[in-house]
């Protein structure tokens, strides 16, 4: 039988629409599920919604809706978000489903029969937003110690669960299984929490009715956390599909935010002990996404909507950012500028350039076909060696939940491959007629891209599959699996297609946007690096963007360098301002039979209407980029004074048909 991997996310409250924090947890769980599938395991990935309790009942009442109708609507939006984010869950559990209500009632009855549930009276505090009971001494300034919001005094008849009876058994388990609570800092917190002694837990309520009735006493509804935690059993067929349950239980990983580690490592394991079921292997409490230094909250108005981010940047870019930027386990800042910087540097530049340069050179030197690798020199052996090490390190990091280290390793390989292009200088080999060595270099590059496609799959499934297809490989990345990461399995003869960039560079207004698309040139492909030049020099030499303001003369270039620029005359068909960007105009241009859109930083100098019908000059082969979310497929030429106060378009001196080449 194949090894299994059962991973869960928290089931989220439908008290509101989900935000980027929820997307963070679910993306990590999805990446892990996909990684384990790649590794050949039989994966079960469960997510869902936590629909009962006082908080939800009140929210529904505020909206004037019956609770079931209210949750149905919100939960549909959860599922829509997961679809857009490409979340590959195997089941979505809703706690209002009959299959779950049955399981919860059974669990309640079973623990009661065992003598671990008794009836008494609860008198104490309750935080409804957290759905948590607190003792007077646990409050901080009379407020909830977790969220700082006001608490309510409760006094009602309740059923209690004898947590205290299992305290020592739980402590022993935590001490003997260091992998049970991760990271280690959370484990220490939980051991300290146990030192204070466990109080028995109130597990039923009588003052509202939106919950699962206690089977033996239906005036009570089951406490929402007792109900919610049980989802991890319902979801894998407990009491319904014994074969499935035996296959996947115990869970390998409950992934949760740090604020709910206590529920998952104290209450949940004790419920399982009382049911004589094995405990999950690991509860991992990750850190929070912080927005510009502040916790996200509705009242602060800083809630980030993942839908808008997906609209603007695409699902894979957002997934990659969440997985790469935040040190897994710790809190991490989420900001638009960090996002753009990360996407530009890692995706548009590093990954994008590697693919673009390789595809372009394969086309130029081998009609797009991956050649049989020729004789290798020392330099050519380094990349395969590094690839082997990176695959090993990647596996180790994924298995031990050092996720961002795994991506860092992959990007070391990508970085090395880009440097290898500069060092091996395929264009020089081609000039010197060294076909054999050139074939080796190009094979190595294409093979690195194949490995990278597999390795990035858990983070960016769509992108990985596109790269796979671009290389001419059949089937899916997931079917190929990690086993295909062996160097040298790329068959010669495949045809690698040249495709538009996977991740156009994103330009934000204000950072050097002066003329056509100033700044974009910094990241253009480095294919043409000449011997003795650094890639940066070659890139800046190759692109005249905003160079009017450059104080230093640029390094000399050859005619060949200049010939790489495809400058053409274009006619402006339409022009308009870009919303939310003072400096930008969006132009529709005719390039001689081809229509394109370009975005130019000239709005302070030209009104849209004065441009329509005019001839301009554009760099037609500049890598497309996005500015304020608008696609720009080229750059117009303009000259400006060094301080940027005066600017004029570069135009042909007499009328010429659109598409005419500028040489």
Residues forming contacts to ligand ME8 in the complex (CB under 6 A) are 10-13, 21-22, 24-25, 50, 228-229, 231, 256-257, 259-260, 288-289, 296
For the record, the structure tokens of 512 come out as 């050097």
Least Cβ distance, residue 598 to ligand ME8 (angstroms): 38
Of residues 327, 296, 343, 321, the one with CA closest to residue 502: 343
The DSSP element (H or E) to which 648 belongs, if any, is strand 647-649
Find how far residue 651's CA is from the centre of its chain: 44
Question: Cα(542)–Cα(286) distance, rounded to whole angstroms?
Answer: 45
Q: Contact, 273 vs 107, CB < 8 A?
A: no
Question: Cα(358)–Cα(368) distance, rounded to whole angstroms?
Answer: 10
Closer to ligand ME8 by Cβ: residue 232 or 366: 232
Closer to ligand ME8 by Cβ: residue 245 or 288: 288
Q: Could you tell me the sign of the dihedral formed by the alpha carbons of 130, 133, 138, 143, in that order?
A: positive
Least Cβ distance, residue 276 to ligand ME8 (angstroms): 21
Q: Contact, 387 vs 409, CB < 8 A?
A: no
Of residues 459, 528, 362, the one with CA closest to residue 85: 459
Closer to ligand ME8 by Cβ: residue 10 or 211: 10
Q: Could you tell me the sign of the dihedral formed by the alpha carbons of 148, 153, 155, 156, in that order?
A: negative
Closer to ligand ME8 by Cβ: residue 230 or 640: 230
Least Cβ distance, residue 304 to ligand ME8 (angstroms): 9
Least Cβ distance, residue 176 to ligand ME8 (angstroms): 25
Of residues 553, 561, 575, the one with CA closest to residue 649: 575
> C-alpha distances in angstroms, 119 versus 198, 216, 646?
18, 11, 82
Least Cβ distance, residue 151 to ligand ME8 (angstroms): 17
Closer to ligand ME8 by Cβ: residue 19 or 220: 19
Of residues 618, 616, 581, 571, the one with CA closest to residue 601: 581
The residues pairing with 140 across neighbouring beta strands, listed in sequence order, are 143
Closer to ligand ME8 by Cβ: residue 260 or 543: 260
Question: Cα(362)–Cα(357) distance, rounded to whole angstroms?
Answer: 8
Length of the chain: 663
Closer to ligand ME8 by Cβ: residue 322 or 451: 322
Least Cβ distance, residue 318 to ligand ME8 (angstroms): 14
437 Cβ neighbours under 8 A, 6+ residues apart = 374, 375, 377, 380, 429
Q: Contact, 625 vs 517, CB < 8 A?
A: yes
Least Cβ distance, residue 467 to ligand ME8 (angstroms): 29
Question: Cα(290)–Cα(325) distance, rounded to whole angstroms?
Answer: 12
Closer to ligand ME8 by Cβ: residue 306 or 658: 306
Question: Cα(173)–Cα(525) distance, rounded to whole angstroms?
Answer: 55
For the record, the structure tokens of 329 come out as 């386990």
Least Cβ distance, residue 334 to ligand ME8 (angstroms): 8
Question: Cα(302)–Cα(323) distance, rounded to whole angstroms?
Answer: 21
Between helix 67-84 and helix 54-62 the angle, nearest 10°, is 100
Least Cβ distance, residue 243 to ligand ME8 (angstroms): 24
Least Cβ distance, residue 406 to ligand ME8 (angstroms): 19
Least Cβ distance, residue 158 to ligand ME8 (angstroms): 20
Between helix 306-313 and helix 315-325 the angle, nearest 10°, is 110
The DSSP element (H or E) to which 462 belongs, if any, is helix 461-470
Closer to ligand ME8 by Cβ: residue 206 or 302: 302
> C-alpha distances in angstroms, 217 versus 11, 123, 154, 185?
26, 20, 20, 41
Closer to ligand ME8 by Cβ: residue 259 or 630: 259
Least Cβ distance, residue 34 to ligand ME8 (angstroms): 18
Separate counts of helices (H) and strands (E) for the chain: 24, 27
458 Cβ neighbours under 8 A, 6+ residues apart = 30, 31, 32, 34, 35, 38, 398
Closer to ligand ME8 by Cβ: residue 54 or 344: 54
Closer to ligand ME8 by Cβ: residue 25 or 632: 25
Question: Cα(565)–Cα(559) distance, rounded to whole angstroms?
Answer: 10
Least Cβ distance, residue 296 to ligand ME8 (angstroms): 5
578 dihedral zone (left: phi>0; alpha: psi -120 to 50; beta): beta
Closer to ligand ME8 by Cβ: residue 237 or 516: 237
Closer to ligand ME8 by Cβ: residue 49 or 448: 49
Least Cβ distance, residue 270 to ligand ME8 (angstroms): 14
For the record, the structure tokens of 261 come out as 């580690």
Closer to ligand ME8 by Cβ: residue 59 or 623: 59
């Amino acid at each position: 039988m194949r090894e299994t991997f059962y991973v869960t996310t928290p089931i989220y409250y439908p008290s509101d629409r989900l935000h980027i924090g929820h997307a963070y947890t679910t993306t990590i769980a999805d990446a892990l599920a996909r990684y384990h599938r790649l590794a050949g395991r039989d994966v079960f990935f469960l997510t869902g919604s936590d629909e009962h309790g006082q908080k939800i009942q009140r929210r529904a009442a505020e909206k004037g809706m019956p609770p079931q109708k209210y949750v149905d609507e919100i939960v549909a939006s959860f599922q829509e978000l997961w679809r857009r984010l490409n979340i590959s869950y195997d089941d979505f559990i809703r706690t209002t489903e009959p299959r779950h209500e049955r399981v919860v009632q059974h669990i309640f009855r079973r623990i009661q029969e065992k003598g671990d549930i008794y009836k008494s009276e609860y008198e104490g505090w309750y935080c409804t937003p957290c759905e948590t009971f607190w003792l007077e001494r646990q409050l901080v300034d009379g407020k909830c110690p977790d969220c700082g919001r006001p608490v309510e005094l409760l006094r009602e008849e309740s059923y209690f669960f004898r947590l205290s009876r299992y305290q020592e058994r739980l402590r022993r388990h935590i001490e003997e299984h260091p992998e049970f609570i991760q990271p280690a800092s959370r484990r220490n917190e939980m051991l300290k929490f146990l030192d204070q002694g466990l109080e028995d837990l109130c597990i039923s309520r009588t003052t509202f009715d939106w919950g699962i009735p206690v089977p033996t006493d239906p005036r009570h509804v089951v406490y929402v956390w007792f109900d919610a935690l049980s989802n991890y059993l319902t979801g894998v067929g407990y009491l319904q599909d014994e074969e499935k349950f035996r296959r996947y239980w115990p869970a390998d990983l409950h992934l949760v935010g740090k604020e709910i580690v206590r529920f998952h490592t104290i209450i949940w394991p004790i419920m399982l002990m009382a049911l004589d079921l094995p405990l999950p292997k690991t509860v991992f409490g990750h850190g929070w996404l912080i927005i510009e230094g502040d916790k996200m909250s509705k009242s602060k108005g800083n809630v980030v909507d993942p839908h808008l981010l997906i609209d603007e940047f695409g699902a894979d870019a957002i997934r990659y950012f969440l997985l790469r930027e935040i040190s897994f386990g710790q809190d991490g800042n989420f900001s638009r500028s960090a996002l753009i910087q990360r996407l530009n540097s890692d995706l548009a530049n590093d990954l994008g350039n590697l693919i673009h340069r390789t595809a372009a050179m394969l086309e130029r030197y081998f009609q797009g076909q991956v050649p049989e690798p020729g004789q290798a020199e020392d330099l050519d052996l380094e990349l395969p060696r590094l690839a082997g090490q990176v695959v090993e390190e990647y596996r180790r990091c994924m298995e031990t939940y050092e996720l961002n280290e795994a991506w860092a390793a992959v990007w070391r390989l990508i970085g090395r491959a880009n440097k290898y292009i500069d060092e091996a200088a395929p264009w020089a080999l081609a000039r010197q007629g060294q076909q054999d060595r050139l074939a080796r270099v190009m094979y190595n590059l294409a093979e690195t891209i194949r490995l990278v496609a597999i390795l990035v799959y858990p983070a960016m499934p769509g992108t990985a599959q596109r790269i796979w297809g671009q290389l001419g490989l059949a089937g899916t990345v997931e079917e190929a699996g990690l086993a295909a990461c062996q160097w040298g399995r790329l068959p010669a003869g495949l045809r690698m297609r040249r495709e538009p960039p996977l991740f156009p560079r994103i330009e934000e207004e204000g950072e050097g946007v002066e003329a056509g698309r100033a700044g974009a040139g910094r990241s253009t492909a480095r294919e043409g690096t000449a011997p003795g030049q650094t890639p940066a020099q070659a890139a800046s030499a190759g692109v005249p963007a905003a160079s009017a303001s450059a104080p230093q003369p640029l390094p000399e270039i050859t005619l060949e360098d200049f010939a790489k620029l495809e400058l053409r005359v274009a006619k402006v068909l339409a022009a308009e301002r870009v919303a939310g960007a003072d400096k930008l105009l969006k132009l529709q241009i005719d390039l001689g039979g081809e229509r394109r859109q370009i975005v130019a930083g000239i709005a302070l100098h030209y009104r849209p209407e004065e441009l329509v019908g005019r001839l301009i000059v554009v760099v037609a082969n500049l890598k497309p980029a996005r500015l304020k979310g608008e696609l720009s497929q080229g750059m117009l030429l303009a000259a400006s004074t060094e301080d940027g106060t005066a600017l004029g378009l570069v135009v042909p001196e007499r009328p010429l048909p659109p598409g005419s080449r500028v040489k």
